[in-house]
A and B are shown apart, each in its own frame.
Chain A
Amino acid sequence: MSVLVYVESEEGKFKKTSYEVASYARGVADMMSTTVTAVTIGVDDNSVLANYGVDKVLKISNEKLNTFNAAAYADVIHQAAKKEDSKVVIVSSSANAKYLAPLLAVQLEAGYASNVVALPENASPIKVKRTAFTNKAFNFTEITTAVSLLGISKNAYGLKESSAPATEEAFEPALTDADFSVNVQSVDKAKDKVTIADAEIVVSGGRGLKGPENWGMIEEMADILGAATACSKPVSDMGWRPHGEHVGQTGKPVASNLYIAVGISGAIQHLAGINASKVKVVINSDPEAPFFKAADYGVVGDAFDIVPRLNEKLKEFKANNS
């Protein structure tokens, strides 16, 4: 009856969102007076999960699972859920989690709610609050099946520490050929860059920057703040920046703590995609830009004047505060 949570890792290390889904699972387990079992794949040391309320870890080590494969991962999580007789299964909202979750839902015969932003309002039947209409609204969804699968939005629940000892058990699920019908040939990922998905801070540039040659100051600000870089849709459409940086309704969603928009007017589609960020700062020369209505802090003025001066001040601030 344990609540099962799939805790993601990359190259054997957990991410911050991993602790967030574990914390969330603890919250659900408390509502249902049960325990939390975490399933991990390819992580040697799982002891840290106890700090986020995990009671038991099912540890999977299998060379075939060293590279992420949605069908295979869904299959092993399904087997873990069966073993634990779990009625609630929890995953994150990473690209990989959103890839495997619908496959897992079919295997579990579970109703699946994605983009969940809070603990269930009801435990039986499970009723959750999730974002819809690309952050322009919330939707309360009731799950009508015996097993529920919940995908938790990043940065919505937060980390909740609670310490109790956790037990660990090696788990060896069976794998089939069908699990590997999609073969990963190569992965192209910048190793030293913060990704938009993981970033606490995102610095984003728009058409107001006039051309790709002017992105140096955006990258510099991102470096100083340890932030990811992003851009608006026209910028990626014009090829100034790679598609992977496009954030907004048809691009990547952003749910960072701080989103800094430079030279972005704030079209409704852009705002929808970044609205889940906690604090928004806009720098724009047009005081009528719609972004000022959506932002928490704003500076009206020329980005080419403001950003270099702000970068100097941020450097100073960082030097004095680290």
Chain B
Amino acid sequence: MKILVCISHVPDTTSKINFTSDNTEFDTNGVQFVINPNDEFGLTRAMWFKEKQSATVDVINVGGPETEPTLRKALAIGADGAIRINTAAKDGYQVAKELSKVVKDGAYDLIIAGRESIDYNGGMVPGMLAAMIGASFVNTCISLEIEGDKATAIREIDGGKETVTASLPLVIGGQKGLVEESDLRIPNMRGIMMARKKTLNVVEPEGDKIETKAVSFEKPAPKGQVKLVSSDNLDELINLLHNEAKVI
């Protein structure tokens, strides 16, 4: 089984979010970049398929050279090879289109991406990729088993979960639950050394068509002061929620 794990290079979850160039660009100054958390759960599940079912696992990112440390980290965790499509990621359509070419050429059976990246939160790449290559698609996936060319997956739905089956090739929009938080791996020294010897292929992009353009950004209005209510006066809290906030 050939698995491709799509890796987004995103600001660490604790990052302060600021913008530059008249609010048209994300300010990367002082920001730590990491593997998108939703992708990391998928990568860890892919490692399980590698170890238990002899799958080969490649990782891929659409981005400039600055994203290579993130791909190297994925190699250090245990991926066999990495591909970087050498162009800035501009929108979900463009990224999905570039990925679809690699998936077709590489004859991958299973493509695991995160349900969304924690930067743009578009939530469109895995589904668009599936539609472009004519593969089945399971989103918000919290469990995945593969037997031969049959997959059984559990999908998180609003208020519960749903068990589905599909044939490979399959695209997964993954999230926490594919593996547990405690299963995530921190690269060890041996992994880091081995990652240096693994191949990181840089591929030039196929096209540059986009469908959406991020024009500018805006930060939310600063929050007003919290109104503190004494723990001896809970009637006041109820009064405020009822008469001022009008939410109960």
Most chain B CB neighbours (cut-off 10 Å) among A201, A250, A281: A250
- Known A-B contacts A243-B142, A281-B237, A298-B226; the reply to A102 vs B124 at CB < 8 A is yes
Most chain A CB neighbours (cut-off 10 Å) among B158, B166, B235: B158
Q: Which residue of A lies closest to B231 (CB)?
A: A301
Q: Which of B34-55 contact A (CB under 8 A)?
A: 37-38
Q: Which residue of B lies closest to A98 (CB)?
A: B123
Q: Is the CB of B176 within 8 A of A99?
A: no
What's the dominant secondary structure at chain B's contact region?
Answer: mixed
The segment from A22-30, A46-54, A55-63, A186-194 that touches chain B is A186-194
Q: Is the CB of A114 within 8 A of B123?
A: yes
Q: Complex Cα distance A139/B160, Å?
A: 31
Q: Which residues of B contact A70 (CB under 8 A)?
A: 127, 137, 139
Q: Is the CB of B245 within 8 A of A258?
A: yes
The segment from A79-87, A162-170, A207-215, A289-297 that touches chain B is A289-297
Binding site for B on A (CB under 8 A): 70-71, 74, 94-96, 98-103, 105-107, 110-115, 127, 129, 131-145, 178, 181-190, 193, 195-198, 200-201, 225, 233, 237, 243-244, 246, 249-251, 257-258, 267-269, 272, 275, 278-279, 281-282, 292-302, 305-306, 309-310, 313-314, 317, 321
Binding site for A on B (CB under 8 A): 11, 13-14, 17, 19, 37-38, 91-93, 96, 118-128, 130-132, 134, 136-140, 142, 152, 155-167, 173, 175-177, 180-182, 210-220, 223-224, 226-231, 234-235, 237-238, 240-242, 245, 247-248
What number of A-B contacts does a CB cutoff of 8 Å give? 267
Q: Is the CB of B126 within 8 A of A102?
A: yes
Cβ-neighbour of A138 out of B37, B161, B165, B220 (below 8 A): B220
Q: List 13 A-B contacts (CB under 8 A).
A: A70-B127, A70-B139, A99-B127, A105-B131, A106-B131, A133-B11, A133-B121, A135-B220, A183-B164, A185-B152, A185-B165, A243-B156, A300-B231
Q: Which residues of B contact A250 (CB under 8 A)?
A: 13, 37-38, 118, 175-176
Q: Is the CB of B120 within 8 A of A181?
A: no
Q: Is the CB of A269 within 8 A of B157?
A: no
Q: Which residue of A lies closest to B93 (CB)?
A: A111
Q: Complex Cα distance A107/B130, Å?
A: 11
- Known A-B contacts A184-B164, A244-B161; the reply to A141 vs B248 at CB < 8 A is no
Q: Is the CB of A182 within 8 A of B164?
A: yes
Q: Is the CB of B228 within 8 A of A300?
A: yes
Most chain B CB neighbours (cut-off 10 Å) among A95, A100, A133, A237: A133
Cβ-neighbour of A139 out of B125, B162, B214 (below 8 A): B214
Q: Is the CB of A313 within 8 A of B176?
A: no
Q: Is the CB of A197 within 8 A of B242?
A: no
Contacts A134-B121, A190-B160 given; 19 further ones with Cβ under 8 A?
A98-B140, A102-B130, A103-B130, A110-B211, A114-B121, A132-B217, A133-B120, A144-B212, A186-B162, A188-B163, A195-B159, A244-B161, A250-B38, A297-B241, A298-B229, A299-B231, A310-B238, A314-B248, A317-B248
